[in-house]
Amino acid sequence: MSQEMLNILIVDDDAGDREQIKRAIKQARPSWKCTEAVSISAALAACGENGFDCIRTGNMVDACAAHLKRDDFDCTIVDYHLPAHDGLTGVSALHQRFPYMAIIMATGQGDEMIATAAMKRGASDYIRKKDLTKDYLRCTIEAAVEKAGLLRAVAKLSAEPEFYDGADEPSEDLRLRHAKDTFLLLD
């Protein structure tokens, strides 16, 4: 996937934090589209799941997320402290429904236990808000999206009938396959 144009969902109940993240993203890559959600329910609604919380897209006035068009996000940045559900619950819910979407946990504190828990629940990476710079965020997003793309390619290859010769292992002649401009070495 080209990273020239990414669609990024920012999930944070603090308007100032959402603006800080959006500003860093826009400074890093002006072509990247940012959509803001104030809760996990709003994030799921923006992704096409049912939800009734409010969401803000760009500079538009808040609208009921249930009335918004479903969007396909390349990456979601989820705050740890959210109303109703914490960010870890959000990471789990998003990862369960969208296993090949890059998810990054963001928090104001730098707790390694939170980072570990987020990664175990499906987050691609973890960032501390106080360390946010345009370059750091750009590199983190690009790496998370690349990882999600590779996981998607492996899953697609694994699902192809000719990939397996009836055994539990890939056939010997399929050790090197091309997938979406990426070569995967299969052992």
Give the model's pLDDT for residue 167. 55
Dihedral sign for Cα atoms in the order 104, 105, 107, 109: negative
Give the model's pLDDT for residue 162. 58
- Residue 71 in domain: yes
- Residue 167 in domain: no
Task: For residue 53, give every residue at least 6 positions away whose Cβ sits within 8 Å of its Cβ, in sequence order, or none.
Answer: 37, 38, 39, 41, 42, 45, 65
**Rounded distance, CA 46 to CA 17, Å?**
19
Q: Residue 168 corresponds to which tokens in the numbers above?
A: 């539990």
Give the model's pLDDT for residue 64. 40
- Residue 66 in domain: yes
- Residue 177 in domain: no
- Residue 46 in domain: yes
Q: Residue 35 corresponds to which tokens in the numbers above?
A: 């959509």
Q: Residue 170 is which amino acid? A: P
Give the model's pLDDT for residue 139. 95
User: Whole-structure pTM over 0.85, yes or no?
Assistant: no
- Residue 169 in domain: no
- Residue 42 in domain: yes
> H or E element: which one contains 159?
helix 134-159
Output the tens digit of pLDDT for each of the chain's 187 residues: 456 789 999 999 999 999 999 999 999 999 999 999 999 888 888 887 654 344 444 433 244 443 344 458 999 999 998 888 889 999 999 999 999 999 999 988 778 888 999 999 999 999 999 889 999 999 999 999 999 999 888 888 877 665 555 555 555 444 444 444 444 444 4
Kindly report the CATH number assigned to the domain that includes residue 118.
Answer: 3.40.50.2300
- Residue 41 in domain: yes
Give the model's pLDDT for residue 38. 92
The count of domains in the chain is 1
Give the model's pLDDT for residue 156. 84
Domain of 13 in residue numbering reads as 7-160
